[in-house]
Each structure stands twice: as structure tokens, then as C-alpha cells.
Structure 1
Amino acid sequence: MKKPMSLRLRLTLLCAALLTLCCLLLTLTNNLSAVQMAHSVQAVPLLPAQTAEADAHTDFPMASLEISETVRQARGIFHLQSLLAMAAVLAAGLFLIYRLVGKVLAPLDELAGQIRGRTAEDLERPLAVPDSGDEVAELARAFNQMSGRLNQVFVMQKNFSHNAAHEFRTPLAVLKTRIGLFRKKRDFRPEAVQDFLQIMEGEVDRLSAMVSSLLELTNLEQMERGERLSAEQLIQGAADELALPVAERQISVLVDVSPCTLTGNERLLHRAVFNLLENAVKYSPTGGSVHVAGRQADGVFRMEVTDQGPGIPTELRQQIFEPFFRVDDARSRQQGGAGLGLALVRAIAEVHGGAVRVEEAPSGGSRFLLELPMGPGRPDA
């Protein structure tokens, strides 16, 4: 493969072409001016000859020939000197251009060397930004911003892989252990077989739920989001689905939603609202209450879900929306779930052009705020 021409050489050749054109034009102009001047000088001795006396007429042709020869020699010398001067100017100009272009591009070469030596492990270390304030400094700042975002993605991917492996390993370990015990005991009584199958089915359902949630996270962009739906019916429908766990734990769910119409995917929005309500019910104490409010303001629908749970530390309020993250790992496993509910809420909100966040409730516990635009969000994929 032919090696591409360097930027320094390309700039040098471009400047050389412009310099050559300018020198040729200047040399041509000077030579034309010199020729015209020579003709004028050559014509000067002939003017007195038209008024001179007759006895001196025979002397002027020889003088005119001598002047013409002298002018012709001077013209040739001038042309040669012009060409030599042009060649010297071109050579000096090309050398200076090459050196100056190299000096100007030196910060870019240094920046390229630093970028070439970067790996995925040191993306968090920023490049040194030169104080020149030019395009090279802007390029260094842009690369630092890009590497910072890439580093965040790599960290999230690493955490996701670690957490996903940990989550999948747990039910698989349970399945393997139960199968080993069943094979060792060889207890084929109907009751023992029924218990074994029930445990197997529960762990398989858990794995299936995690796989389904992961598939939803990756396929959100491909789902259409142009349906018109009622926010009040959406939230009330999600609350009705939680009637059984709410009744078992004697939790009161208070819904106060103003009538308004949303645009989006009904199944996805229902899943986001349901996950928020389920999370609030799950972490509220027995006999507690969950308050759900929804209001329209400035073209945005804001939904608030307030619980009376233990709350979330300030430093963890962004991480809880990452896949498989748990504030209290032991308690979360005891209450079920795969740690993907809030991650789905954030993904669904963002794909609709909205956002979700959590803050401390005034009366204790947590308050989740889901914001969705009233009109169409991001365009359908």
C-alpha cells in the first residue's frame, strides 16, 4: 500500500506552487518592462538623426548598430539574471516554507504522539493542552472530553460485565447445587420431586426475567414511540397491578394525577411507571404509604413517587440507575429482583426525551421524579 503524503509535505507543495506562480508572474512582468525600456532607450539616439546636418549623416548608422547590439546583450543578461534570481528565491522560499510548516505542525505531531500511546487503561489521564489557544489546543481539549466519555463507558461496561456475571452466577450456582443434592440423595418421592422442580422453575424464571430485561435495554431504540395515551390511566393501571403486594403489606397508595396526554410507547411507559411504583412499595415499611403525583408544567409531565423507605445516600443516587446496582445487596436479593428495574426506567425516559432522578423526601424516604415531554420525544428509530 502506498504511503500517504504527510500534511507537512502537502502544505509545502501547495505553498511552493503558489510561490512559483508568483515568481513566474513577477519575472515575466519585469522582463516585459525591461524589453519596453530597452526599446525606448534604443530609440533615443535616432531622434537627433532626423534633424542633423547632411555632412554627418553617414556616421549615425554605425552608432545605431552599436547601440542595438549593446541593448541586445544587456537584455540577454537581464533575462538570465532574472531566471537565476527566480530560481534562488524559489529555493530559499521552499526551504523556509518547509521549516516554518514543520515548526507550526510540531505541536500537532507531539499531540499525535501522545494520542498514539494511549490505551484503554489510561484514558482518564488527560492530555497536556498547549497554551497556544489555536486549533491544536482545541483539538487536545476535544480529545480529553472524548476520552473522558469513553472512560466512563468503559468503566460502566466493566461494572456491568462484573455485575451481570455475578447475577447470573447466583441462580446457576443454586441450580447446580440443587441438582447435585437431588442426585446424591436420590429421593424420588413426589413431594421431594415437586420441591425440586419448584426451585428449578423459580431460578429459571429469574434467569429468564434478567435476559428479558437485558433485551429490553438493548432494543428500546427500535420501538415506535408515537402513541397517544392518558397519563392518569397509565399510572392508575400500574397501581392496580400492584394491588396484591400492597394489600399483603397493608401499604396505602395515594394517586393524584392531573388529566393530560402523553406521546410515546404505551408498553415502555407502563413499564417505567410500574417499576417506580414497585420499587416504592418494595422498600416501604409494612403499613406505610406511597404517594404518586403527576402534573403538567411548561410542556413537561412530571411524575413524583414518594415512599417511606430507608432512603438512598447522596453519593449513590446516580449509581442506582446503573444495571445490576444495589444499595443494599443482601436486602435487595431477599426482596427479589435483578437490579435492572431502575436502569430500565432511566433508559425508557431517555429514549422518550425525558429524564429521571431521585432525591430525599421531606418526610424521609426517597422521592423519584420522572419527567417526560408532552409532545414527541426523540424521533423513532
Structure 2
Amino acid sequence: MYQYACSLVNSLSGVETSDQQFFSETFLEYMLLVFLVLFVSGAFFYSYITKKIMEPIRDLAASTEELTQGRFPEKLDVQQTRDELFILAQNFNRLSLQLKETEDARSKMVSDMAHEFRTPLSNINGYLEGLKKGVIPPDPSIFESLHQESARLTDMVNNLYQLSEWNMQSPVLKKETVPVDELLHNAASLFEWQMADKNMKLHLDIEPCQIQADAGSIRQMVSNLLQNAVEHRKNEDPVYLHGFRKGTVYVVEVQNTGAWIEPETKHRLFERFHREDSSRQRQTGGSGLGLAIVKELAEQHNGGAGIETDGWNHHFWFSFPL
């Protein structure tokens, strides 16, 4: 460009040589200045763009390194540009959060399992040590207590095994047309002796109905809810077992007056090992797994499970689609 401009000036007639030389020098200076400005602007623009792109990538790399070392990094803060980098950062944030929640749940489960197993094992060990030293005389009531603690441990292990199997694969359900009212009556009959021994009354109000479900699952769910009512009874009020149609579902409900439940945290009762009151749970022998199994089985039937409560009066329920 510079040479072309100079040649044009040289080709003009009537232009002095000194003028041509001045033009060439002045034009060269402007050209150099323009190139300098363009170079500096380009360098600044390149630095800005590179920093804008590379800084989030460096942050992502550092956060990934933290994650591989078992630590959970802070949430990545990326401008909402809706480009590929923003989507990548958002996906990483969700992944990190899910991993943290999983790790927290695993840690809590291990801690809760240790607490749940410690009490019956301590009781068994204490009784056996007392019998060994002759401090406690061998008595049928002692053997009954040992048997109850052993049965409690067995139930917890069986429930844990069942839930762990369901984590790896969904439970195999044998769905068939079953008379749900007969299943509920049969499940309730298994508690007649236990409730009579505790001076408890069970009232049934069950609407006949045929549903597609796994019969064994229904019996287990009803048994878990009734066992929960027996373990956490608060007074002499009876327990009610209801079964009724409600729109497109069949609802099974166990109603009782029991130990205090915070209405704000009631949904957590169906989490594994959740306890409203740790000491109460251990005194009553609950493992914190029965309601989790009810919820899992209900969802495997495309139904649901839940609780309605005012704190003392509880309505535990599960439902099946008709």
C-alpha cells in the first residue's frame, strides 16, 4: 500500500521531488502509527478474549482436580451467556452437587447404621456378660429380652439387604389381579395377638376392590405401617386401618395417635434411618427402614406414600393406581 501510494504521487506531474519525499515520509509515519494502534488493540482484544475464555476453563480444571481428590469445590460462577462453556459449567455444578448429596447420604447412613446396631449389640453383650459372671440369674424374661434384641438385629439386616438389592435393580414384582380387601384383612389378623397383648384395639374399614398389584408387597406395606403404629403408640386410642377408592387410585391408610412428629419434617419419615427422636426410636426398637420400604414398594407400583399429621394424630398412607 505504501509503495503504491508513493508511485501514484511520483506519477503526478508538477509535484516537486521534495514534496514527494515529504509525502512519502509523512505517509510512512501514519502507516506505522496505524499499524501500532492496530497491533496494540489486537493484543488487548486477544488478551481479553483469551482471559474470558481461559479463566472459566482454569476454574473448571481446578474444581475437577478438587473433585478427583474427594473434596467438593465451590459452585462455579460463570456468566449466563448460554454458550457451550456456560452449559458445561452448569452441568459440572449439578454433578458436584449430586455427588456431595450422595456422599452426605452415605456418611449419614453409615453413622445411623452404627447407632442402630450399637444399641441391641450392647444390650446383648451386657446380658451375656451378666449371665457369665452370675450377676444376672438365668430367667425366661432375660432370654426373651435377648431374643427380642436378636430379632431386632435380624430385621434390620434383612431390611438393609432388601433395600440394597433394590438399589442395584428394581424389585421383581409379581403383579396380578388381587382382592385388596382380603389382603388387608389377612395382614391385620397377624397383629391381633400383639395388639391384644398391649391392650390395643384395631378397627377396620375396608372397601372391597380388585387391583393389579403384588400381593406380598401389599402385605409387607400394611404390616410395616401397623408395626409403626404399635411401636410408637402414645395412648390407649385405637388404631384404624382404612382402605378406600379415591378417584383413580386405591388408598390404604393407617390412622393412630402416636409420638410427636414435626409437621414441617414429616416427609423425611420415609427416608432411610430418619428418626424424629433418636432416643424414642431406640427405645421402641424401630430401625428407621420400615417406612422407606413402604415408599419404595408403592413407587414400584406407580403409586405413592405419605403422611398427614397435626403432630400427634397421624394418617400414614400408600396408594395404588386402579
When normalised by structure 1's length, the TM-score is: 0.62
Name the amino acid aligned to 2:315. R
Work out which of the residue numbers 361, 364, 368 in structure 1 matches 2:316: 368
Name the amino acid aligned to 1:201. H
Q: CA distance change for structure 1 residues 351 and 117 in 2, over 3 Å: closer, same or farther?
A: same
Name the amino acid aligned to 2:224. N
Q: Is the 8 A contact 1:171 1:203 kept in 2?
A: yes
Alignment partner, residue 137 of structure 1: 86
Alignment partner, residue 138 of structure 2: 192
Q: CA distance change for structure 1 residues 129 and 259 in 2, over 3 Å: closer, same or farther?
A: farther
Aligned residues: 272
Name the amino acid aligned to 1:206. R
Q: Which moved more, 1:313-322 or 1:110-119?
A: 110-119
Alignment partner, residue 236 of structure 2: 287
Q: CA deviation at 1:196?
A: 5.5
Q: Is the 8 A contact 2:117 2:153 kept in 1?
A: yes
SS in 1 for 2:208: coil
Alignment partner, residue 63 of structure 2: 114
Q: CA deviation at 1:198?
A: 4.2
Please give the residue correspondences for 1:36-51 in structure 2 after superposition, counting only pairs within 5 Å. none
Structure 1 vs Structure 2 CA RMSD: 3.1
Q: CA distance change for structure 1 residues 104 and 264 in 2, over 3 Å: closer, same or farther?
A: farther
Work out which of the residue numbers 209, 212, 216 in structure 1 matches 2:158: 212
Q: CA deviation at 1:197?
A: 4.5
Q: Is the 8 A contact 2:263 2:310 kept in 1?
A: no
Q: Which moved more, 1:272-281 or 1:158-167?
A: 272-281
Unaligned runs of 5+ in 1: 1-98, 375-381
Q: Is the 8 A contact 2:127 2:142 kept in 1?
A: yes
Give the Cα separation in 1 of the matches to 2:264 and 2:310: 16
Give the Cα separation in 2 of the matches to 1:120 and 1:355: 35
Please give the residue correspondences for 1:92-171 in structure 2 after superposition, counting only pairs within 5 Å. 106=54, 107-108=56-57, 110-118=59-67, 120-122=70-72, 125-171=74-120
Q: CA deviation at 1:166?
A: 1.3
Q: Is the 8 A contact 1:306 1:361 kept in 2?
A: no
Q: CA deviation at 1:346?
A: 1.8
Q: CA deviation at 1:313?
A: 0.3
Q: CA deviation at 1:249?
A: 3.9
Q: CA deviation at 1:132?
A: 1.1
Identity level (%): 28
Deviations 1:21-71 (A, max 9, x none): xxxxxxxxxxxxxxxxxxxxxxxxxxxxxxxxxxxxxxxxxxxxxxxxxxx
Alignment partner, residue 56 of structure 1: none
Q: Is the 8 A contact 1:250 1:288 kept in 2?
A: no
Q: Is the 8 A contact 1:250 1:286 kept in 2?
A: no
Give the Cα separation in 1 of the matches to 2:130 and 2:149: 16
Give the Cα separation in 1 of the matches to 2:125 and 2:233: 34
Deviations 1:108-140 (A, max 9, x none): 4543433332354436x4222322112322232
Alignment partner, residue 275 of structure 1: 224
Give the Cα separation in 1 of the matches to 2:195 and 2:256: 13
Work out which of the residue numbers 243, 253, 263 in structure 2 matches 1:304: 253
Q: CA distance change for structure 1 residues 104 and 312 in 2, over 3 Å: closer, same or farther?
A: same
Alignment partner, residue 284 of structure 2: 335
Q: CA deviation at 1:319?
A: 2.7
SS in 2 for 1:368: strand
Name the amino acid aligned to 2:231. K
SS in 1 for 2:281: helix
Q: CA distance change for structure 1 residues 350 and 121 in 2, over 3 Å: closer, same or farther?
A: farther
Give the Cα separation in 2 of the matches to 1:194 and 1:309: 30
Deviations 1:304-342 (A, max 9, x none): 322122441034313322233322333333332322211
SS in 2 for 1:370: strand
Give the Cα separation in 1 of the matches to 2:101 and 2:210: 36
Work out which of the residue numbers 287, 295, 313 in structure 1 matches 2:262: 313
Q: CA deviation at 1:268?
A: 2.1
Q: CA distance change for structure 1 residues 354 and 176 in 2, over 3 Å: closer, same or farther?
A: same
When normalised by structure 2's length, the TM-score is: 0.72
Q: Is the 8 A contact 2:235 2:257 kept in 1?
A: no
Alignment partner, residue 148 of structure 2: 202
Alignment partner, residue 175 of structure 1: 124
Please give the residue correspondences for 1:255-270 in structure 2 after superposition, counting only pairs within 5 Å. 255-270=204-219
Q: Is the 8 A contact 2:248 2:321 kept in 1?
A: yes
User: Which structure's CA Rg is the greater one?
Assistant: 1
SS in 2 for 1:372: strand
Please give the residue correspondences for 1:13-92 in structure 2 after superposition, counting only pairs within 5 Å. none
Q: Which moved more, 1:248-257 or 1:319-328?
A: 248-257
Q: CA distance change for structure 1 residues 121 and 237 in 2, over 3 Å: closer, same or farther?
A: farther
Name the amino acid aligned to 1:171. P
Runs of 4 or more above 6 Å deviation = 99-104
